[in-house]
Amino acid sequence: MSKSRETPQTIRQRKGHEPIAALTAYDFPMAKLLDAAGVPLLLVGDSLGMVVLGYPDTTHVTLEEMAHHVRAVARAKPRGLVAADLPFESYETPEQAVESAKRLVDAGAEAVKAEGGRAILPQVEAIVAAGIPFLGHLGMLPQSVVEEGGYRIKGRDDEQREALLADAQALGQAGAFGVVLELVTPTVAAEITRLVDIPTIGIGSGKQCDGQILVTTDLLGTSPDFIPRHIRPEELLRDRMVGMIRGWKDGLAKRKP
């Protein structure tokens, strides 16, 4: 990665030329590590609700909690673009969406992400009109997990396929610089990637997207309790960490008083 800062424009220009690597960051040290590795897109994701704060799902994360973690990541001054999730019920109207997006930008975010397509188009247009770069999110929407009763793969029938295509095209026309596709069937994700002008960034949606995004603690094998099936970490670092801590603790008992 070059020493120049990433922007929404440089991320968008990677489509068809260079794969986009994106990972989540929730704090200063992780942002520094991702920067050292040259990751061009850092997402302060509301997944922090589960892997950092211990919530059962993302719907419990507040705007203030998001802003807190954005500030921590921004202090690392990474060269990668820092995007942040608009949390559950923080973008119900265009006015609220802009206000919430500005809160995250004031905390240090350089772009915001929200879940949905045509259903939130007025909010997306308002955010873009306010001069705030926007990243879309389609497919499985974690903020809807309670409503839908679980995490479900999207695009399995013609109705879902057509809806996803229409949503992706609408987001591109509204000014989004990219769109995350989560748990979309690979054939539909590949079709969306071919048909839209903006980059697609997949998670559990096959290899044909313009980029991939993962929860960093899943990639490293440090997420508590559960790691999604579409991720196969080379090593569960949490096991090694537990061993190191246990070794230090046991070593204390062997020291002479």
Q: Report how far residue 128's alpha carbon sits from residue 229's, in angstroms, rounded to the nearest whole number.
A: 35
Look at residue 24 and tell me if it is in a domain: yes
Is 182 labeled as catalytic in the residue annotation? yes
Look at residue 127 and tell me if it is in a domain: yes
Q: Report how far residue 186's alpha carbon sits from residue 166's, in angstroms, rounded to the nearest whole number.
A: 17
Which among 86, 14, 52, 69 has a CA at the least distance from the CA of 215?
Answer: 52
pLDDT tens for each residue of the chain, 257 residues long: 446 899 999 999 999 999 999 999 999 999 999 999 999 999 999 999 999 999 999 999 999 999 999 999 999 999 999 999 999 999 999 999 999 999 999 999 999 999 999 999 999 999 999 999 999 999 999 999 888 877 888 999 999 999 999 999 999 999 999 999 999 999 999 999 999 999 999 999 999 999 999 999 988 888 877 677 777 766 678 888 889 889 988 888 777 66
CATH of the domain at 50: 3.20.20.60
Instruction: Provide the 3-class DSSP secondary structure of residue 202.
Output: strand
φ, ψ of residue 191 in degrees (nearest 5): -65, -45
Q: Could you tell me the pTM of the whole model?
A: 0.91
Q: Which of 110, 115, 182, 191 is catalytic?
A: 182
Look at residue 3 and tell me if it is in a domain: no
Residue 35, token pair as written in the block = 């920067």
Look at residue 121 and tell me if it is in a domain: yes
Look at residue 156 and tell me if it is in a domain: yes
Look at residue 138 and tell me if it is in a domain: yes
Residue 63, token pair as written in the block = 């705007």
Q: How do strand 211-214 and strand 178-182 relate by DSSP bridges? A: unpaired
Q: Which helix (H) or strand (E) holds 41?
A: strand 41-44
DSSP 84: E
Q: Report how far residue 33's alpha carbon sits from residue 217's, in angstroms, rounded to the nearest whole number.
A: 12
Tally of domains in the chain: 1
Look at residue 1 and tell me if it is in a domain: no
Look at residue 100 and tell me if it is in a domain: yes
Q: Can you give the residue range of the structural domain that contains 45?
A: 8-254
